[in-house]
Structure 1
Amino acid sequence: MSGFEVAGLVLGALPLVVTALESYSKLAKIAGFWREIRREYRKFDADLKCQRLEFIMSLRVLLLPLVTAGDKELINRLIADPQGDAWKDHEIETRLKAKLQDQYELFEKIVYEIKQVVLDLESELSIDSEAVQEAFDASASAGTQDAGGTWRKIFSRRRAERRESRSVVKFKAKFLNGVQTRANLLSDFAKLNKNLETVLNVSDKQAEIAKTQAAIASKSAIDDAICSFYLHAARLFNLLLASWKCTCPGHSAKLQLQHRTTLTELEFRLLFATSKDSYWELHRIRISQGNREIIERSSRCIAANFKPKLQPGHRATAPVKSAMRMGTNTAQPKRVGLLSPPVPEITVTPAETMEASRTQVIHSLCTSLGEHQESCYGYLHGEDSRYYVHPVSHGTIDNFAPLSLAELLTRRPKLRRLQRLAISLTLASSFLQLFDSPWLPASLGKGDIQFIADPNDPGAFKLDQPHINSDFFSPSSQKQRRAKIKESLPRLGVVLIELCFGEPLEVQSYREELGIESDAKKSAALDLAAAVTWLGDVNEEAGPNYAATIEWCLTGIRTMPTDTQEWRKQMLWKVVRPLEECYRNLREG
């Protein structure tokens, strides 16, 4: 018999002991010795019921994670029917073993010992004695009949005969003389209940520890993936460089910057703009990496279409002065608007339906983009993986004139704090992911960050989608200078402090006092000095967490070895994660 079945037997036996004990009180009252046992009886009765409740509570805790979500009433049915077939359910028993693991044998031992204690209680209370059984059976058969009438019938014999009833005398003597024995049994019951509770607590704690360890391992894996993302970015850049074989003039390519929290799928979003006679043609694409072995398994699915799903209020815009108007159109003021972060809505298609696309290697990306596909243009062939190119949108615009962050910071009214914080988070996260790759070989200044006009509303810019230039089809793209992290990270810190206040550094008194320097390196040094002074105002403006992130970018990198990639993990936890928290608190605040 399994430990789970034994637990059901104990659960069924305990009410019988409690019910029989109630009959003893009636027997004692009729037999005339109630006052002699009343105090001890009440104490024993209360202690026994408490231990029974403790046992039931332990069973509920034990059963809670074992039942399926669709059968929430199973626990109540098990408790209400201890003799039911559910206590013999092998599936529940299997789940119990999986839950308790190494503690299962100890659990069985404890419930077997509890069963023995209950048997000893039955023996000690003389449940099998003639008088008690007669009284108990008669009381049960009487149903709702007046208890006094039942007992009078049982004890209708003469008083002298009742006094001579050996079973009654034996019960009275045993009850009065068994105080210590019953106390010991209840003490054993209490200890076993405590042991059972300990086993369950240990099991729950082990489950929590395992869950925590899994979460830590998962987070560590995510952190490692984010910190090594620049390697994947470099591979894709080189593939795009190799696939751009056209000589068409007027091409422009921009990589959308993204804040990534998980990397279950390596994905890049790019915008290709091509100048036509009187308009610009815009192609937005999504490139996702697929491992060759995984792709070839028919059971796997890959993303076949992508559609941004905007949250309510995403078209909220802030009007600015006429200086932001486009071209010669003076009647329509240019507006900038921060769209709420889009929630990806991915339609997955079984891999076998993509056979045609799998065999379509992209040799010329320009040519492939001209073939307006609805699902997939094909793939770029890497050494150990394929990068699938999917269309996101296609449209035209009269004038393609992205707005730089440098321009945006000079406009009025200023961006709202949540908008500025969202941009800061995206920039810091993208710097971590892309620095030292061909996408971002040097630094990330405010002039490098661009926002694209909405083709459906050219007067509004999508501020939740910052981009950087990605002229991989330019021969000079392979000759860009590799900047050192100690030079580039402080420059990012300057951008973050400008976003904190919504104003450019060069108009601040801290910077104006230092004068103008024509030499680029000296000017950057003066910018850094002014930003460090300006840093003293950040705590009051945006709080200590934001101030600490900027301080680390401006000065923290000086004390770190930069010959390894350890700075990336430091930046992840000292810059990106705190900015995440700042953004979340402000958004939910």
Structure 2
Amino acid sequence: MSGFEVAGVVLGSIPLLISALEYYSQGVSTLQKWRKYEREFRCLIRNLQIERVKLQNVCEKLLNGLVPLSKFETMIKSPGGEEWRTESIQRKIRQRLWEACDVFDQTIQDVKLATDELQQRLGSQNDGKVSELRRGIFTLRRSTYDDLLQRIKEGISNLENLTDRNIELEPSRKVRSQGKLFHILRNISNSLYRALRSSLACGCQHDLGVKLERRSFDIMPADDEERIICALAFQFAVSSLSKIETSLQDPKHLSTQTWQKVLVKATPSPSPLPSPLPPKGKKTVSFGFSHSMSSSTTTTLVKTATHTTVSNSICNPTTTMASLVLSNINPTINLCQTFQKTSSFQQADSPYGVIIDQQTAQAPRQYTVYPSLQGSGAMPIWTLISLREILEHKDRHIPISYRDRLYLALVISSNILQIHGTPWVPDTLDSRNVFFLANNGFPLYSHPIFVKNHEDVAKLTLPSSPSDGGVAFVLDREPKLLSLGFLLIELMLGQTLDALRVGTGPGSFPEGSLLSKYVTAQHVLPRVRTESLNYWTAVTRCLDGDLHTRRNGPDGTGLDRESLCEEVYSGVVALLEKDYENSC
């Protein structure tokens, strides 16, 4: 039973103690010679009532913001009920208590022991009746209960302090957790790109796209990187047709291709296994199995070994069990051939096979590839539509709703931090770098993607003669942050900066240049402010904020600095998260 569950049990048991004491108090008040002890009874009852309220406040603070208001009231009114044992709530509370979780558990356990002992000392009641002598004895020995009451007071007071301090630190811990998550995502994104590329060694020059997702992970101090990696899932789009079969001169060749969606998950790395027993008579040091590898996983891996391999390993005592297992990993697949052979109907839980990144610093990392489907059914034919086309209102695309715009702003800015410095993120971000999967011409705004190896048509150009003094001022900005600010404006106003361009007279900056975009962005910022103050603040920080002045430091430059990534998350992404959540 977790500490939070125990808190619910204690919260429900204190009223029972109070009821028992009130019953004793009523009996004692009927005796003339015991009236002077009635005040002491009331004091003891009042102290327990105070401790109950304090413990309830602790529980409310822990639950605040973690559960819906309707469920919140139900849980407080029914302490120790089924909702208190929900695993998702348990994990969120452990995340909130951080490293104080074990101390919290120990403290509330001590409070429970004290309340249980107090209940035992009150004694059992026979048919709801207690003799006057027993009441008298209880009153005369009330001082023997002071130690228990003191333990309850001190325990709940410590719980209050632990809860208050950890809730105060929760925002900064969340930022640090996101920083750790971003570091893991960048490493795994590079690895996934290499694995996917190696699985497409067919000469067809397929394009790859990664779905931009809003990721959050409750990272605990004791969590290891491997557990986090294996809990993540990534969605990719792979072009089905070769570039050779399309016109490379056509800048819209991405839109003319069809695409396959796949889901990729990391396969847990096998833990080191012990070497076989040495010949008798030799002294050795043996090592046991790692606890991180379950017996079921070990059994499954070993069962894949062929009889020949087993025989060879027995004949050769230098062959370790680990090499036996690793030699029988599922063979890698060629995704291009897999797509051609796969039926148009595919079960979502039926994997295509395994792909491997051989270039990791440690052992090769393998991933399992699944069709990205809901249940089973015919695979839809996907095409791509760029955000630029939609903002320019070409063809007859579905307009982007306000909530969708907030979602896209959040997910794009978040993914810049998640996977910057990887092949998936372009050097300069533009609405022509963001694509949507479309079915029958209808874009899915919940499926934005970055595409790698497409024609680079989104480079920001500079004036050929940068004579204006503002050029150096703008160029001193962090490029990705500056281009993100431009893109956020376009999303909110539903138009490209070229369409919103100001200063088209003689001497103005060329259309599409960095300075032209910057001047236009400053001109339309008041319109963004009327839509959302949080959104406006995030945009201004991308364009002119202190984040640019702190982009260089001893730990790196630009977004390669972990400290800058954390500041961008708290100063930009967190504000966009608030807007999106408030739009629900």
Query: TM class, shorter-chain normalised?
Result: 0.5 to 0.7
Question: In structure 2, which of residues 368, 372, 379 is the aligned counterpart of residue 392 of structure 1?
Answer: 372
Query: Residue 478 of structure 2 corresponds to which residue in structure 1?
Result: 486
Residue identity over aligned pairs, in percent, reads 18
Question: In structure 2, which of residues 493, 502, 506 is the aligned counterpart of residue 510 of structure 1?
Answer: 502
The answer to whether residue 411 in structure 2 is matched with residue 426 in structure 1 is: yes
Q: Deviations over 1:159-178 (max 9, x none)?
A: xxxxxxxxxxxxxxxxxxxx
Query: Residue 267 of structure 1 corresponds to which residue in structure 2?
Result: 233
Cα deviation, residue 272, structure 1: 1.7
Matches within 5 A, 1:189-228: 195=150, 198-208=153-163, 212=167, 220-228=176-184
Cα deviation, residue 581, structure 1: 0.6
Query: Residue 514 of structure 2 corresponds to which residue in structure 1?
Result: 524
Matches within 5 A, 1:105-124: none
Q: Which has the higher helix share?
A: 1
Query: Residue 290 of structure 1 corresponds to which residue in structure 2?
Result: 267
Question: Following the alignment from structure 1 to structure 2, what is the Cα–Cα distance between the partners of residues 13 and 548?
Answer: 58
Query: Residue 369 of structure 1 corresponds to which residue in structure 2?
Result: 339
The answer to whether residue 353 in structure 2 is matched with residue 378 in structure 1 is: yes
Higher mean C-alpha displacement, 233-242 vs 425-434? 233-242
The answer to whether residue 537 in structure 2 is matched with residue 560 in structure 1 is: no
Cα deviation, residue 192, structure 1: 7.5
Change (3 A) 1:198 1:299: same
Change (3 A) 1:218 1:509: closer
> Alignment partner of 1:395: what SS?
coil
Q: Which has the higher strand share?
A: 1
Question: Following the alignment from structure 1 to structure 2, what is the Cα–Cα distance between the partners of residues 438 and 555?
Answer: 27
Question: In structure 2, which of residues 200, 211, 234 is the aligned counterpart of residue 256 of structure 1?
Answer: 211
Question: Following the alignment from structure 2 to structure 1, what is the Cα–Cα distance between the partners of residues 261 and 542?
Answer: 32
> Alignment partner of 1:292: what SS?
coil
Question: Following the alignment from structure 1 to structure 2, what is the Cα–Cα distance between the partners of residues 71 and 403?
Answer: 45
Contact 2:433 2:451 in 1 (8 A): yes
- Report the count of equivalent residues: 416
Change (3 A) 1:408 1:10: closer
Change (3 A) 1:50 1:421: same
Q: Match of 1:271, as an amino acid?
A: A
Q: Match of 1:198, as an amino acid?
A: K
Query: Residue 185 of structure 2 corresponds to which residue in structure 1?
Result: 229
Q: CA RMSD in A?
A: 5.1
Cα deviation, residue 573, structure 1: 0.9
Cα deviation, residue 451, structure 1: 1.4
What is the TM-score of this pair, normalised by structure 2? 0.58
The answer to whether residue 525 in structure 2 is matched with residue 570 in structure 1 is: no
> Alignment partner of 1:466: what SS?
strand
Question: In structure 1, which of residues 4, 19, 40 is the aligned counterpart of residue 27 of structure 2?
Answer: 19
Cα deviation, residue 584, structure 1: 0.6
- Report the structure number with the largest CA radius of gyration: 1
Question: Following the alignment from structure 2 to structure 1, what is the Cα–Cα distance between the partners of residues 566 and 156?
Answer: 36
Contact 2:385 2:435 in 1 (8 A): yes
Q: Match of 1:297, as an amino acid?
A: M
Query: Residue 51 of structure 1 corresponds to which residue in structure 2?
Result: 43
Question: Following the alignment from structure 2 to structure 1, what is the Cα–Cα distance between the partners of residues 504 and 157?
Answer: 64
Question: Following the alignment from structure 1 to structure 2, what is the Cα–Cα distance between the partners of residues 401 and 258?
Answer: 19
Q: Which runs of 5+ in 1 are unaligned?
A: 26-39, 73-94, 119-132, 141-181, 302-349, 477-482
Question: Following the alignment from structure 2 to structure 1, what is the Cα–Cα distance between the partners of residues 485 and 111?
Answer: 54
Contact 2:436 2:443 in 1 (8 A): yes
Change (3 A) 1:198 1:431: same
Change (3 A) 1:527 1:219: closer
Cα deviation, residue 257, structure 1: 1.4
> Alignment partner of 1:403: what SS?
strand
Change (3 A) 1:460 1:363: closer
Cα deviation, residue 201, structure 1: 2.7
Change (3 A) 1:365 1:262: same
Contact 2:111 2:151 in 1 (8 A): no
What is the TM-score of this pair, normalised by structure 1? 0.57
Change (3 A) 1:71 1:51: farther
Question: Following the alignment from structure 1 to structure 2, what is the Cα–Cα distance between the partners of residues 365 and 443?
Answer: 30
Question: In structure 2, which of residues 380, 387, 395 is the aligned counterpart of residue 405 of structure 1?
Answer: 387
Q: Match of 2:529, as an amino acid?
A: N
Question: Following the alignment from structure 2 to structure 1, what is the Cα–Cα distance between the partners of residues 189 and 477?
Answer: 18
Q: Deviations over 1:315-359 (max 9, x none)?
A: xxxxxxxxxxxxxxxxxxxxxxxxxxxxxxxxxxx9779969982
Q: Match of 1:369, as an amino acid?
A: F
Q: Match of 1:381, as an amino acid?
A: I
Question: Following the alignment from structure 2 to structure 1, what is the Cα–Cα distance between the partners of residues 508 and 236?
Answer: 37
Question: Following the alignment from structure 1 to structure 2, what is the Cα–Cα distance between the partners of residues 218 and 467?
Answer: 26
Contact 1:442 1:484 in 2 (8 A): no
Question: Following the alignment from structure 1 to structure 2, what is the Cα–Cα distance between the partners of residues 529 and 452?
Answer: 32
